[in-house]
Amino acid sequence: MGYHQKPQNLSKNLQQDLLLPSVLVLRSPSVPSFFFSKSHLQAHFHLLDPLDSPEPTHSFLSRHAASVLALLCVASTRVSSETLSLLPSLKLVVATSAGLDHIDLGECRRRGIAVTSAGQVFTEDVADFAVGLLVDVLRRVSASEGYVRARLWAEKGPSPLGAKLGGNRVGIVGLGRIGSEVAKRLIAFGCSIAYCSRKEKPSVPYPYYPTVSELATNSDALILCCSLTKETHHIINKGVMEALGKEGVIINIGRGALIDEKELVKFLEQGQIRGAGLDVYENEPHMSQELFAMENVVLAPHAAVYTLESFAALQELVVGNLKAFFSNKPLLTPAQLE
């Protein structure tokens, strides 16, 4: 039976599905619905979703292996070398995230499988969130809100003092798209910026430090905007926190494992750093229990990208990348796999 041939005994909707390019969907049952608009995608593609099938995922993938050319990876669903080995015809992985540490990029490179990311869709929203976390930690916004809700204002008077944002030296770890937007926003607040990246950027006006320890020594706050790799795993360790000092603040909107979370808890408990704003964690959605009781720590549920506008743009980008692939046109947001 040819690809464009319509079997007479199939329903009209099923016949239409068979005429559309097939896309395998990999997602966790816990992924929020706004990461994945099935109705929007079904207008353009025939979706193969293991969660809609009663059979085990492994069997589902094996059954469709020969026909799957494109895979949609929703949120941080793992795409391992084992999963890729079940899909010998795969040519494209479309990710709905900016970070790609959950995808085996080395195996994709070896196989010649193209990968696309969320590109700049989330950039401004994540930068806003990073600045919001820093403001919150320094000015004690969440802590003050809790103080009022606990009826302590009337009982004990004004809440403890916060700290000024303007004038702080902010070190950005990873001056890519998001880091650059964070810097732009903080300059407007009167902060001075320095950065650490894999390479110095000659066109950037901010001071460059080749190591995170040197950056921490010359900063009042660190904002983590880099990708998670073998090299950046626990890049914020005991030595870096010691270099940052007692008045230092750490903000993480990158990936949880950029920080040695156990060491961070120790430094916070002992008053060896001022505070932290965390949107990501080493073992999310679980985190160190000690963090819950700390008023100098602001906790968010990996929500820096969560805006209506960013997810509307993400849906359009996903469709655009898939359409480009099936039309043999350049991908919109190809990832560099080197």
Place of tokens 């010649």: 112
CA distances from 180 to 85, 88, 95, 224, 278 (A): 37, 39, 22, 12, 19
Place of tokens 């998001």: 178
Residue 106 CB burial class (10 angstroms; 0-12, 13-18, ≥19): exposed
Burial per residue of 245-257, b for 16 or more beta-carbon CB atoms within 10 angstroms, e otherwise:
eeebbbbbbbbbb
User: What is the set of active-site residues?
Assistant: 255, 284, 302
Q: DSSP secondary-structure letter at 67? A: G
Distance between CA 310 and CA 253 in Å, rounded?
16
* DSSP state string for 241-259: HHHH-TT-EEEE-S-GGGB
Check residue 66 and give its pLDDT: 87
Tokens of 86: 């079940």
CA distances from 7 to 16, 48, 67, 80, 179 (A): 11, 20, 18, 36, 53
**Length of the chain (residues):** 338
CA 213 to chain centre: 24
Check residue 13 and give its pLDDT: 53
List the domains of the chain with CATH numbers: 22-119+308-327 (3.40.50.720), 122-299 (3.40.50.720)
Residues of the chain below pLDDT 70? 1-18, 338
What ranges in the chain are assigned the alpha helix state H?
A: 12-19, 38-42, 57-64, 81-85, 105-111, 123-139, 141-149, 152-156, 177-188, 212-217, 238-244, 261-269, 308-326
Check residue 16 and give its pLDDT: 52
Residue 323 CB burial class (10 angstroms; 0-12, 13-18, ≥19): middle
Sign of the alpha-carbon torsion through 11, 43, 41, 44: positive
Q: Using one digit for the tens of pLDDT, what is the confidence trace for 263-273? A: 999 999 999 99
